[in-house]
Amino acid sequence: MEETKRTNVNELGEFGLIDHLTGHFKNRHKSTVRGIGDDAAVVDNGGDELTVVSTDMLLEGIHFDLMYSPLQHLGFKAISVNVSDIYAMNATPAQVTVSIAISNRFSVEALEKLYEGIEFACEYFGVDLVGGDTTSSMKGLVISVTAIGKVAKEKITYRNTAKVGDLICITGHVGGAYLGLQLLEREKQLYLDNPKIKPDLEEQDYLVGRQLKPHARKDMIEQFAKNDLVPTAMIDISDGVASELFHICKQSDVGAILEEEGVPIHPKAEEMALKFSLDPATCALSGGEDYELLFTVDAKDLDKVRYMADIYIAGEIVEKSEGVMLHTKGGNRHKLQAQGWKHF
């Protein structure tokens, strides 16, 4: 009998799997400027602007837990994480499609709540809901969103264009969403053990909000435009700073020195990390889902980024041979570790 080979997807990992399945595909159209590999695909339909397209899927039990994710927040988050990939190209989102798969567990009223959040996000990010698909699922809720945006040709920002000497910058604060998740998981466990216990989430609005309703950085793209700044490379932080920096370095064929001192962790996140006996720096570097932006700028733009609101300079791009290093607060230098979210 012929032996059929069975390879577990774990063996390849998420990116290895995508590459294994799609690496040999050829693009047929001149209009396909960039395919798989960046935050969004890039299409040139003629004219001064490029079109960018990105898709992301959220699954109940994998990406969200309805025990603590209110449906309005979930609707908002589904749009936010998708337009985040459009902003990561320095582009402006304009349209979204939303597809849902629902089991009979969901009532019309519940779905109305989901769409209230979607509607609020469409208003907040200035996008039009233009289509989608609705189908049933055996179990649980699936939400898949596609976002379409535009950017002037000279402003498009890829992942593979960082160069030696560029500064590494991070918007906002990182690590908060991960600690928000730890908090929600802890309260869920306590509740399951004893349903009479009331959740103790008072004064945790910040961390819980970072997890449940992240706000993609529309304001940053606007700030770049106002200051005539075009980053040399950019990616959004969905899997954690370390993992995203590895993507930029690998694709740009460069190394990096990340300054632990420069990685912005919010005081509330730091405090909670210590309460959970976690290392705040590890939470900031490897905690996912902050949906901030990690980008590089030419050194000549130092003064521009230095005076922009909510941007932190956290290191420098170096030669590839130097590797991707972390310069710790204690003055040590070692290889950066990435423990991004792996859903397999």
Residues that bind ligand ADP (CB under 6 A): 18, 22, 36-39, 56, 85, 238
Smallest separation, CB 297 to ligand ADP (Å): 20
Backbone dihedral region for residue 37 (phi beyond 0: left; psi -120 to 50: alpha; all else: beta): left
C-beta of 220 vs 272, nearer to ligand ADP: 220
Sites of contact with Mg ion (CB under 5 A): 39, 85, 236
Q: Which residue is nearest to Mg ion (CB)?
A: 39
Strand partners, 132: 98
**In whole angstroms, what is the distance from residue 277 CA to residue 6 CA?**
40
Q: How many CB atoms lie within 10 A of CB 112?
A: 12
Smallest separation, CB 57 to ligand ADP (Å): 9
- 22: partner contacted, choices ligand ADP, Mg ion, none (Cβ within 5-8 A by kind): ligand ADP
C-beta of 145 vs 273, nearer to ligand ADP: 145
For the chain, what is the radius of gyration of the CA atoms? 21
- 262: partner contacted, choices ligand ADP, Mg ion, none (Cβ within 5-8 A by kind): none
**In whole angstroms, what is the distance from residue 296 CA to residue 162 CA?**
6
Smallest separation, CB 287 to Mg ion (Å): 16
Smallest separation, CB 85 to Mg ion (Å): 4
C-beta of 11 vs 261, nearer to ligand ADP: 11
Q: Which is it for strands 128-136 and 92-102: parallel, antiparallel or unpaired?
A: parallel
Q: Which residue is nearest to ligand ADP (CB)?
A: 39
Smallest separation, CB 236 to ligand ADP (Å): 6
- 187: partner contacted, choices Mg ion, ligand ADP, none (Cβ within 5-8 A by kind): none
What ranges make up the beta strands (E) of the chain? 32-34, 41-43, 49-59, 92-102, 128-136, 142-152, 167-171, 233-236, 255-259, 293-297, 311-318, 324-327, 333-335
C-beta of 106 vs 243, nearer to ligand ADP: 243
**In whole angstroms, what is the distance from residue 86 CA to residue 83 CA?**
5
C-beta of 280 vs 340, nearer to ligand ADP: 340
